[in-house]
Amino acid sequence: MKVWDPFIRAAHWVLVASVAAAWFTREELHEWLGYTALAIVGLRIVWGFAGSGYARFRQFVRGPATTLAYARAFVARAEPRYLGHNPLGSWMIVALLATVALTCASGWLSTTDRYWGVTWVQDTHEFLADALVALAVLHVGGVIYTSLRHRENLPAAMITGRKQAARPGDVA
């Protein structure tokens, strides 16, 4: 069944590419990759309110009680399959988007006359970049775990936009 629309899939992979490339570059290219990442985050936030069903934040961002219940089920290896993002995955998306935005903002600040060469701004930017890598590693780990646990290829779903049809016990 169709889950993720073309914009979500394209934004995901462009964000992955721009963040990864920014990690390995410096100077002007690094700066433009950061602006690209920030633009994608901005568009993704807009799409989270105006986009298609599974792209909307209200559809997949769950409250604390639901997220905690899911985390308990996850630890017990009894978590339900979600057609869109599961509660832990949804909060990972929020964390990744926020961290990318903050990393980009701190990088931009370090290019301004007022904050050029200011140690705490550069340290903050480096800390956020490292945190972003750690979150990305956790995200990939969660994707691998969920793919194996529910016997579906989530990376392929982020290319095609399609997941296996709903099964008994799945959560829309």
First to last CA, the chain: 12
* pLDDT (0 to 100) of residue 167: 84
Residue partners of 9: CB distance under 8 A and separation at least 6: 158, 159, 161
Classified as helix, coil or strand, 61 is: coil
How far is it, in rounded angstroms, from Cα 14 to Cα 11? 5
Q: What are the tens digits of pLDDT across the range 133-157?
A: 999 999 999 999 999 999 999 999 9
Say whether pLDDT at 56 is over 90.
yes
Instruction: Give the residue among 8, 82, 83, 85 at the shortest CA–CA distance from 45.
Output: 8
Q: What are the tens digits of pLDDT across the range 1-41?
A: 999 999 999 999 999 999 999 999 988 899 999 999 999 99
Q: What are the tens digits of pLDDT across the range 64-122?
A: 999 999 999 999 999 999 999 999 999 999 999 999 999 999 999 999 999 999 999 99
Q: How far is CA 90 from CA 49, 93, 128, in A?
A: 14, 5, 20
**pTM for the model:** 0.92
